[in-house]
């Protein structure tokens, strides 16, 4: 059975296309006769082969990233301290 979405040949008892996941419907019996040709789709338009959107990425400088790491550490330290203070009965391993 040929997938009408991507054109891949699949087993006749398949419910979904093995390539694109298109759901096959069995409302009518299979078409007898020659198979109509599939439309030619340029490879640039096929979603599974299209490259990801490319745009210039700008990363923050070293000092901005260092300050962000310090702020993250402070936030996690405060949360960790609050959890440790709220449950003093638990040992350092975290299990009772």
Q: Average pLDDT in the 6-34 region?
A: 77
Does residue 14 register a pLDDT over 80?
Answer: yes
Query: Which pTM was predicted?
Result: 0.33
Distance in Å from the first CA to the final CA of the chain:
59
Claim to verify: residue 43 and residue 70 sit in the same structural domain: no
Claim to verify: residue 29 and residue 75 sit in the same structural domain: no
Alpha-helical segments (H) within 42-89: 62-86
Top pLDDT among 54 and 28 is at: 54
Q: Domain of residue 92: give its range.
A: 56-96
Confidence of residue 75 (pLDDT cuts 50, 70, 90): very high
Does residue 76 register a pLDDT over 90?
Answer: yes
Claim to verify: residue 45 and residue 17 sit in the same structural domain: yes
Count of structural domains, the chain: 2
Does residue 84 register a pLDDT over 70?
Answer: yes
Claim to verify: residue 47 and residue 4 sit in the same structural domain: yes
Does residue 27 register a pLDDT over 60?
Answer: no
Claim to verify: residue 40 and residue 69 sit in the same structural domain: no
Q: In whole angstroms, what is the distance from residue 7 CA to residue 14 CA?
A: 14
């Amino acid at each position: 059975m040929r997938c009408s979405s991507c054109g891949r040949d699949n087993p006749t008892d398949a419910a979904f296309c093995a390539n694109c996941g298109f759901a096959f419907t069995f409302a009518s019996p299979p078409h007898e006769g020659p198979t109509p040709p599939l439309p030619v789709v340029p490879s640039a338009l096929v979603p599974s082969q299209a490259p990801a959107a490319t745009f210039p990425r700008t990363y923050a400088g070293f000092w901005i990233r260092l300050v962000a790491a310090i702020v993250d550490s402070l936030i996690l330290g405060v949360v960790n301290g609050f959890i440790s203070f709220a449950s003093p009965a638990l040992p350092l391993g975290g299990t009772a």
